A and B are shown apart, each in its own frame.
Chain A
């Protein structure tokens, strides 16, 4: 038995927004893999739950004719991982989705929940950051659009205002068309684990080896998931030699604010950044080459 004092379910998006404006203390629950576990551990008690699981408006994903992808926040990790469109067009995202937890968790955990709980280790975060994803946030007062990059405020803290719901995650076509990517989840286990470090990269490759539009995003390298602007700027237009890649890795470390915990030391995490960013880029370039350099 969980320590739940009240449970309501949303019937429609409008109804949900109205409910939330009237019940600011309500805890929104979707897949439950975060909230339920916190209740079980006693971190949440006497909770007023508000389930948005039934909201058809927030399920599924759409692709507009121009290629803009809008992920519904209730899309599960399994749905992302198994989506043929995403597998073909943004494989780095399906890869990241598949690295999360285990199958039973992926079957219920939602992408929206993963973003909104603000975990620095969220497996979707680095890739969505690299894709310059934009969040659609709605409240009874209206909608706002926030780049994911600005959404993370601190460990477990996000720019989600009272009464607001995440209603969509937008990835524009120019952010993925022609790009190749790779996600490395460095963890102590190959499944059922949280990342010691998450590295997601995206790039275009010209003439087989010239890097363009490199994006490097990291999880667990700072209090929030981050991008590495210095390394990205350096990489622009560079021919990808082993030395260039190493330098990109070194520069990526400069954007980090890793800390020492019992899971890993700051030094080790920084070393991993320097080591794994080049590896991820190499893989992304391999993918580019394999597909005829889109």
Chain B
């Protein structure tokens, strides 16, 4: 089907606002007499707070309030940005307090100050005396799971959950196999490093409600969690989300808002800003879970997989946050890539005294696909097969039904993705060329595949709202509860509305700010859900507006609605395209006709009880400097089956950013900590090695556009997937170049060199 606006490289609706500096982010709203909030953080990773003396801080002129555990509500809450569940058993682990009486990681918030300015606040923090009773610090899951380990929370052996899944007869599958492959793989702790740190401003309005402006992906969820943490009715909280400087999952968690709310209450409702520094943001927001995997796979001689067993130990740090959902969700999405008869997934999520791990782009899949796609390469090498052949032999087909969730794959373009990527990188040619690499610099090729979901159904509710108002001039406003966080969702929603209503994009005014008082309900930006899930609501709302317009024209002209259509801002005859009247003329009548005036709006919600699988592959070519251990990515391509692409330019942008993040994950990024004390060593952008423009190669992005029947205009997820497979593809390329398998991230120069030396590749 051909579309006018959908599929076009439309300029994003917020581009001009952002390029001129007019787009307002949380810190850009000026409040009169704004007070500054600051947090006192524990220097101990694990310690009881025995006593806090804040008298001297209180007495400092300019200090408005000092808060400790004793001064804030003692209601444990979960910070995870999931939809609420009516089933108490399905809710996230409630283990967090606004200020704690027990420090569980270095940086845990034990007290806070509200003061006239930053310098006074900092001075006040230095005047607070805290008496700690240090406990044993547990940084590794192994230490935390010891029988005699001290408990971080009141759960047995510090284990948050072991919920996994199993289907088929694994013993039989292994018995039927010609070969058994086993491998261990380990990912690292990394951080989102969105350019805007967490920040919230809170005040109490003239009606006694707490108003919070915050940099969040999930305004409606923030409202609920703040209310829960404070023990107040949900309606007493209003949350505004302006433009935000990136999130990547770090803002799918409620990190600063409850404390900001408590702070304003402590100063009589005056406005307080709680802004984390970069250094704070890197220890006390969220990180990506480090997960260790042990994988055992049975294969036939030809490469057909008979059965897989995956054991995973996920380090969630000091608080649950998204906790076991990460390991669980990664395992769930993994099921859709390979057709196997028996699969057992045994994840364990463990508390430790490290910064809190939570949601981050890919949500458990970068970890599991790193492990399994490394493993696939190892199998291919063990069997003497080309990895592409091994993959193709085992991929699922369209029509695959997940044995656990019973969800059916209605579109699957993984084979097409692989074929396209193979061409782009000239796989066959280069594989031959690099076959017998010698010398100090060696090149190699690698590939890795993934499957992903579009939203969270059936695990969570997938509800999304959209509201459209037809203006007098024939333009419309679109409001959604879903959030633009840089990914371009406002623009693709606008394109959807424009398509249905026959408008150019600039006649669709997308309201970018979410305000829980005004915006339709939507749970927010996560799970790559918005284009797919919110898109359904948007399309539904636009179709309703269209139907109302055509009905109205019927009333005006006696031409039945079914004979009419909207195109180019005009009402036309469907059969001939002949213009009946300009849309603006109808719009004006809907407002001002003395008899029939009834302005046209739609306010709709969609509960999407479906989930479409998206697929993709990364192909990478590397050069390894054996003598220094430096790995250079020469070429890298991501090919995605994300259904129909609404805006190719924005879609490519998602791929570029995700791949870049994946390259950092593969080669340079790691949040380092002292294993004894739990102290983070590199919580700043100088020491945490985010790639610069000079470290980033040209990134190739391509799409295999197969319409998914369930998606609006045939779309599927795209936001997170690009970040999933660069790391394993690069690892496999390094293996191809050197013959050495790196099973631990990141592959930084020292590690690579040391392992090459161990392997005897260099002296």
Contacts and interface: CB of A to CB of B under 8 A. Distances in A.
A–B contact with Cβ pairs below 8 Å: the answer is yes
Interface of A: 1, 3, 41-42, 102, 186, 188-194, 196, 262-265, 268, 271-272, 275-276
Nearest to B674: A262
16 contacts: A1-B119, A41-B279, A42-B122, A188-B668, A188-B689, A188-B748, A189-B694, A190-B692, A191-B692, A192-B692, A194-B686, A264-B750, A265-B750, A268-B753, A272-B628, A275-B627
Contact of B689 (A1, A189, A272): A189
Contacts of B694: 189-191
B710 interface: no
A-B CB proximity, top 9 nearest: A190-B694, A191-B692, A268-B750, A188-B689, A191-B694, A275-B627, A262-B681, A1-B119, A190-B695
Given A272-B628, A275-B627, A192 B753 contact: no
B753 A189 contact: no
A158 to B, nearest CB: 22
Contact of B754 (A186, A268, A276): A268
A42 B628 CA distance: 36
Contacts of A275: 627-628
Contacts of B118: 1
Given A1-B118, A1-B119, A268-B754, A192 B628 contact: no
The prevalent SS among residues of A at the interface is: loop
Interface of B: 117-119, 122, 279, 627-628, 668, 672, 681-682, 685-687, 689, 691-695, 748-750, 753-754
The prevalent SS among residues of B at the interface is: loop
Contacts of B692: 102, 189-192
A102 B692 CA distance: 10
A188 B749 contact: yes
A249 B122 CA distance: 49
Contact of B691 (A42, A189, A265): A189
B725 to A, nearest CB: 23
A271 B689 CA distance: 22
A165 to B, nearest CB: 28
A189 B754 contact: no
Contact of B695 (A189, A194, A196, A265): A189
B680 to A, nearest CB: 11
Nearest to B117: A1
Contact of A262 (B672, B685, B753, B754): B672
B689 A193 contact: yes
Contacts of B687: 263
A3 B748 contact: no
A278 to B, nearest CB: 10
B681 A3 contact: no
Contacts of B117: 1
B508 to A, nearest CB: 38
Contacts of A1: 117-119
A188 B632 CA distance: 11
A262 B628 CA distance: 17
Contacts of B681: 262
Nearest to B693: A191
A243 to B, nearest CB: 14
A265 B279 CA distance: 25
B686 A192 contact: yes
A3 to B, nearest CB: 6
A186 B689 contact: no
Contacts of A265: 750
Given A188-B689, A189-B668, A263-B687, 13 more contacts: A3-B122, A41-B279, A102-B692, A190-B694, A191-B692, A191-B694, A192-B685, A193-B689, A196-B749, A268-B750, A275-B627, A275-B628, A276-B628
